[in-house]
Structure 1
Amino acid sequence: MEDECEFCRIVAGDRSAHVLYEDDRTIAFLDANPAVRGHSLVVPRVHEQELLAVDEAMSAAVFDSVQTVANALEAVLDPDGFSVFHTSGPLVGTVDHAHVHLLPRTVDDDVSLSLFRDRLEPDDASALATRVRSSL
């Protein structure tokens, strides 16, 4: 446990949270500053800064928990859909503990996850795809 990490303190039971689900590898709780009703966070129980750097079993456990919580939120809130996202690196935000946001969405919510879009140039796409495949 990282002493400074508020999510580690939630995992340890030293900080209160509205826990929705927990198992031996993950815990899910309501976000204390929700964007929408039901906004939840799913985190690994061990302190990991980067979800993309954990082993495959941990990553699978986190996303299995995301699905479990989404199914429960679907049953309770009947949303129009979900936004699920994870940010890594220096863009993570204020908590340096890997986590996935799960937001039940409705057509009239004020959530905006819009992205500027550009045209995919065929030559650039081919070159990038080749480079990525060669690194796998």
Structure 2
Amino acid sequence: MDDDCAFCRIAAGDRSAHVLYEDERTIAFLDHQPAEAGHTLVVPRTHVEGVLTGEDETGTAVFDTVRTVAAGLESVLEPDGFSVFHTTGPLVGTVEHAHVHLVPRFTDDDVSLSLPRKQLVEDEVAALTDDVREAI
């Protein structure tokens, strides 16, 4: 546990949060500054910076919890869909503890997760495809 980490303190029960779900590996709680009603953060109980490149068990546990909580939110809020995202590295924001945002979405919400789009350059994408396949 990192004593300076707000999410570690929530996972340890030393800081209050509106917990929706918890198990031995993860905890899911409402974001204190939600983009939309039901905006939930799913975090591993151990202090790690990312779930995509760390232990397989941690990533699996986090995304299993995302699915569990999404089912509960679906039942209660009946959203039109969900946005799910995870950011790592210096882009993560104010808390450097891995977390996945689970945001219920509604047709008339003001949530914006826009991604600028580019055209594929065939030579570049072919090389990238080969390099990633080899790395995997």
Q: TM-score, normalised by structure 1?
A: 0.98
Give unmatched runs, 5+ long, in structure 2: none
Distance 1:10 1:58 in 2: 17
Deviating more after overlay: 27-36 vs 52-61: 52-61
Q: Over the residues paired in the alignment, what is the CA RMSD in angstroms?
A: 0.7
Cα deviation for residue 135 of structure 1 reads 1.3
Deviations 1:77-107 (A, max 9, x none): 0000000000011000000100000000001
Q: TM-score, normalised by structure 2?
A: 0.98
Partner of 2:52: 52
Partner of 2:72: 72
The DSSP-based 3-state class of the residue aligned with 1:79 is coil
Cα deviation for residue 13 of structure 1 reads 0.8
Q: Percent identity?
A: 65
Amino acid at match of 2:91: L
Correspondences of 1:11-22 after superposition (within 5 Å) = 11-22=11-22
Distance 1:11 1:81 in 2: 27
Superposed structure 1 runs of 4+ greater than 6 Å apart: none
Correspondences of 1:1-136 after superposition (within 5 Å) = 1-136=1-136
Q: How many residues were matched structurally?
A: 136
Give unmatched runs, 5+ long, in structure 1: none
Deviations 1:15-44 (A, max 9, x none): 000000000100000000101000000000
Distance 1:130 1:49 in 2: 28
